Structure 1
Amino acid sequence: MYYVVIYCSYADLDLLIIYHLAVVYSAWNIINDDRVALKLETIVDHPSSIEREYHILKQLEGGIGIPRTLWFGRESVYHAMVLELLGLSLHQLFLANNRKFSLPHVMNIGDQLLSHLEYIHSHNYVHGDIKPQNILMGLGNLRHTAFIIDFGITKTYWNTKTGDHVPFRHGRSLSGTPAFASINNHLGVEPGRCDDLESLTYMLIYFLRGSLPWLTSDDEKLSGSTILERKACATIVDICQDIPVEFVTILIYTRSLTFAEDPDYDHLCSILHDLHASLPAPATSMLDFSQLRNPAIHPPDKCCVAKAILPCPPKEMCRLTRV
């Protein structure tokens, strides 16, 4: 544990998430006496991804499932962003639940995230990296709400000056996480709304099945090209084996969306709602992981393969220290 003061307000840091160029800590707000999330990024020559993320989150402010930003600034050799503190990621909860979620849980996750993505897309943004590590549950009264985090590679898909969709382009490198990336993302196509929805579909299937055909059982790190080859060769039947046929319908729909096509979010939600209504026993409409006895035993989420530059706050940043 580290004890620091950021902008004379925040102290007592616990590591939460490791990114490529940044880390996220749980911090104590010494003014309001509550806990917050603190994201730190080393200041380098290129533009700050945290500053860009801060401005995106401010534009999305007020949306359900969007983390609240509390402050952004420069401190010592770091950019710092303070956000509301959230709970465990779906990745951590998935591991704590023996790598499987119930069908009602998955339907609830899908319903919430479809609504969140529709909101993000309505503000002309594509998230670009939908995966279990980037979905966190809220705390307290928001414990049943799923939040989308990490807008570091979020892009605009709409040119507000011309009123046109960004043009179709290819030749880009893979962005996001290979396991849940759309096939077009693997192929270097400019990201669109359809890619967020395809990634979401893979994630829901992953939660139901416990894995995906292009992943190994022992979580072996595979190259993006290997995952693409396996993903492209896997049939819809292979991907959706032993799960309700409604997910076949959802996967076919999301994969068939064209680059600039407006997704029908209501259609996708209605598929999940109809499936929910067809269940033999009443299923709760709330997303509740309270039955997990000790889900916090898993280490902080590592959201990239590369080692983080910032393992802990520097000495010159530690204005308030304790042994």
Structure 2
Amino acid sequence: MPGKGAMKSKKGANGYKLPDPIPVGEVLTDMLKKSWIIGPSIGVGGFGEIYSAAPYTGGVPKDYPNVIKIEPHGNGPLFVEMHFYMRSAKENDIVLWKKQNKLSFLGMPTFISSGSHDCHDTKYRFVVMERFGKNLWDIFLENNRKFQPHSVYKIALQIIDVLEYLHYKTYVHADIKGANLLQSLKSPDQIYLVDFGLAYHINSQTEYKPNPKKAHNGTIEYTSRDMHMGVPTMRGDFEILSYNMIQWICGSLPWEKNLTNPSAVQKQKQSAFQDLPKFLKECFSSVVPEPINKFMTLLKNMEYNDTPNYQKFKDILVKGLKDMGHKPNGKLNLAASDKTAKSATTPQAGKAKKVMAEGTRKSRRLLELLSPNRSLNSTNDSDLGSPMNQKKSNRAQDNPRILKNIPFTDDPDSEVEEKQTKKTRNKNNKDADVKVASKDKKVLKKKTKHYDPDETMSDDQSQVSLLGTKSRPKNDLKRKQATVELESSIDENNDSTKDMFTDDDEPAQPTPPKRTSKWQECSTIKNSRVFKPGEYKRENQNKIQKAKKR
């Protein structure tokens, strides 16, 4: 039994045991007795770690052209991937396929070698592969979760070529996503489909048999309806690709909020294909692109065991590219959305320069008002409802008036003179305003004396109290006046303020109101005594004490 200080094995997000870090410079020997040297780590996956690597020739290499995926023997995904590469990713097979199908490029990684290695008293398996560049998911996030439609169609064309090769080899990928699509180091416009840890071997089955053990396998947001049932299909690979295409263009998928509930996501996908126009309208805020609409319609009409019509899917995307003025094998331009946003503003700036080059000279203020970049009624969303926004809108409304009053002149000297005269007028107006304001302040100081409730108010004071001042607003004066009136009324009703609080046992008795009725003139009422609050009780207590003393 291990002690308390024993190290616990790390586990990945999907429960697989993660390997301990392999030291840089470790030498591995594959099944063909070829040696490979480990370089710095590139990243950690759900089941293992990926290291940069190079063929070992006795020294430290300057460059690491390969990668090595390594995992403990107890894990399964790399075992599946290793056997897939050994069967279906041989270099000769890929070259022959490209030649037969007249392809200049195929984004299928070639198998280099594999083997086992002991390190840290643990046995590992590893696969050696070609090294690639950045993955599309990172580029997608860097580009504010948007790709241009023409870039998406070009990527999809490359992936369809890889899927056709995989399906020919009787495999399905089942986990197509941006993180598994890598750029070539030689050309960033060439995309490779990697990570075959969830690849399934398929056969021409005629019966649809759900498998609960494989249900919901893959990445939930892209998992196909068939894979939600545990059935890997070729149709499912195209469905996964379609979800990626929609996300790359729109930025998100409708079920991304429910990813912790695979069954809920499955129901949303099923309802999406039951009413395809409604689903596409929900995804695209504007018009649904025609290639996406046709692609999804063709996919909807497939049966679960159908072999996809690869050429028909490709023709849909190629036609969409031609309609947009793009070639199928053109550059991807994955960050083109930022460039187009910048270029959209440059022609307007050019127009403004042409205005300045014309014969009539205009002031800078006038050019700002006439600029096509400036709209008279434009407001910033962040200013809505604020006083600044109100000022802006007022200024915008006055702009047409300002334009009428600005004269056009060919003489720059007269323009300068006019500016100087305007400045002097503004100064004179400001001086006059300052004098008037100072006089008003003096008058206010005389009028706004501190209020004393004992003094009687004059007519001027009463007017100030009604209007209020900055230091003493109208509401505060009303409150003070009300408290003074209340105090005076209390003094009139009470002869004495000695008994301000009643005894705890007896509630306070309100002061009896003055009555003016006829029965008040009766002698018995005239001679009767009216007790103040608490007085009656004290008098009775005094009588009882005197009786006890006797």
Q: Which sits farther off after the overlay, 257-266 or 205-214?
A: 257-266
Deviations 1:159-190 (A, max 9, x none): xxxxx4474311332221111011122133x2
Q: Give 1:267's match in structure 2, choosing from 312, 325, 328.
A: 312
Alignment of 1:50-89 (within 5 A): 50-59=81-90, 61-62=94-95, 64-76=106-118, 77-89=123-135
In the aligned structure 1, how far is the partner of 2:313 from the partner of 2:130? 30
Change (3 A) 1:209 1:290: closer
Matched, 1:169 2:202: no
Q: Does 1:97 align with 2:143?
A: yes
Separation (CA, whole Å) in 2 of partners of 1:203 and 1:149: 15
| Counterpart secondary structure, 2:246 | helix
Tell me how far apart the structure 1 counterparts of residues 337 and 125 of structure 2 sit (CA, whole Å): 36
SS of match in other structure, 1:37: strand
Matched, 1:204 2:248: no
Q: Which amino acid aligns with 1:196?
A: D
Unaligned 5+ residue runs, structure 1?
A: 159-163, 294-323
In the TM superposition, residue 287 of structure 1 has moved relative to its aligned partner by 2.5
Shift of 1:39: 0.4
Judging changes above 3 Å, is the alpha-carbon distance between structure 1 residues 168 and 283 closer, same or farther for their aligned structure 2 residues?
A: closer
- Alignment partners' CA distance in 2, 1:281 and 1:127: 29
The equivalent residue for 1:40 is: 70
Letter in 2 for 1:170: P
Selected match of 2:261 from 223, 239, 262: 223
**2:42 equivalent in structure 1:** 15
How far 1:116 moved relative to its partner?
A: 1.2
Alpha-carbon distance change, 13 to 221 in structure 1, aligned in 2, over 3 angstroms: farther
In the alignment, is residue 191 of structure 1 matched against residue 218 of structure 2?
Answer: no
Gaps of 5+ in 2: 1-20, 30-34, 98-105, 339-550
Evaluate the alpha carbon distance shift between residue 107 and residue 206 of structure 1 in structure 2; reply closer, same or farther with a 3 A threshold. same
State the alpha-carbon separation in 1 of the partners of residues 167 and 41 from structure 2. 33
The alignment partner of 1:267 has SS state of: helix
TM superposition shift of 1:66: 1.1
Contact residue 137 and residue 146 of structure 1 kept, 8 A: yes
Structure 1 residue 36: Cα displacement: 1.1
**What does 1:109-124 align with in structure 2 at a 5 Å threshold?**
109-124=155-170
CA distance in 2, matches of 1:106, 1:265: 17
Determine the C-alpha separation between the residues in 2 that align with 1:67 and 1:126: 15
Aligned position for 2:456? none
Q: Note if contact 1:180-1:203 (Cα within 8 Å) is conserved in structure 2.
A: yes
Aligned letter for 1:68? T
Aligned-partner SS, 1:180 = coil
Could you tell me which amino acid in structure 1 is paired with residue 40 of structure 2? L
Tell me, in whole angstroms, the C-alpha distance in 2 between the residues paired with 1:117 and 1:283.
17
Deviates more, 1:282-291 or 1:48-57: 282-291
Distance verdict in 2 for CA 1:174–1:283, change over 3 Å: closer
Residues 41/187 of structure 1: CA separation in 2 closer, same or farther (3 Å cut): same
Say whether 1:138 aligns with 2:184.
yes
- Counterparts of 2:337 and 2:145, CA distance in 1: 12
Change (3 A) 1:148 1:46: closer
Paired residue secondary structure (2:163): helix
Structure with the bigger RCO (C-alpha within 8 Å, sep 6+) is 1
User: Do the aligned partners of 2:225 and 2:269 also contact (CA within 8 Å) in 1?
Assistant: yes
Query: Aligned residues, how many?
Result: 282
Kept in 1: contact 2:39–2:51 (CA 8 A): no
Q: Per-residue CA shift, 1:277-308, capped at 9, x if unaligned?
A: 11167897122447799xxxxxxxxxxxxxxx
TM-score after normalising by structure 2: 0.47
Q: Percent identity?
A: 24
* Aligned equivalent of 1:26: 52
Residues 46 and 147 (structure 1), Cα distance of their counterparts in 2 relative to 1, 3 Å cut: closer
Which residue identity does 2:52 align to in structure 1?
A: S
CA distance in 2, matches of 1:287, 1:259: 32
Conserved? CA contact 2:172–2:201, under 8 Å: yes
Q: For 2:328 and 2:210, how far apart are their aligned partners in 1?
A: 44
Deviations 1:67-112 (A, max 9, x none): 1222100011100111000111111111111100011110101111
Greater helix percent: which structure? 2
Give the partner amino acid of 1:13: P
Distance 1:22 1:192, change over 3 A: same
CA distance in structure 2 between the aligned counterparts of 1:149 and 1:210, rounded to whole angstroms: 23
SS state at 2:208 partner: coil
Q: What RMSD in Å do the two structures reach over aligned CA positions?
A: 2.7
